[in-house]
């Protein structure tokens, strides 16, 4: 049960971070302040973060079914 709760927390954290980054990027993009830079920050920032969180979620899922 503890592992399931940890998985839910991980997913909530991922959704929160992605939402925050998306809001910042779309705000910058909408205002027209360096849209290419905003897009670059989004891609560079989201790739390692997303990969790390997906890895942790996957590990938690494997632990649950083990």
Tens digit of each residue's pLDDT (9 = 90 or more) over 9-32: 877 787 777 777 777 777 766 766
Query: Would you state the pLDDT for residue 2?
Result: 81
Q: Yes or no: say if 3 and 60 are a contact pair by the CB < 8 Å rule.
A: yes
Query: Nearest-CA neighbor of 43 among 57, 61, 60, 29?
Result: 29
Averaged over 27-49, what is the pLDDT?
70
Query: To which residue do tokens 């991922």 refer?
Result: 14
Q: Which two tokens stand for residue 66?
A: 């083990």
Strand ranges in 1-66 using DSSP code E only, listed in sequence order: none
């Amino acid at each position: 049960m503890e592992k399931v709760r940890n998985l839910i927390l991980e997913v909530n954290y991922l959704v929160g971070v992605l939402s925050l980054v998306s809001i910042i990027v779309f705000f910058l993009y909408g205002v027209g302040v360096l849209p290419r830079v905003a897009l670059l920050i989004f891609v560079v920032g989201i790739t390692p973060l997303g990969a790390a969180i997906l890895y942790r979620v996957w590990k938690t899922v494997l632990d649950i079914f083990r």
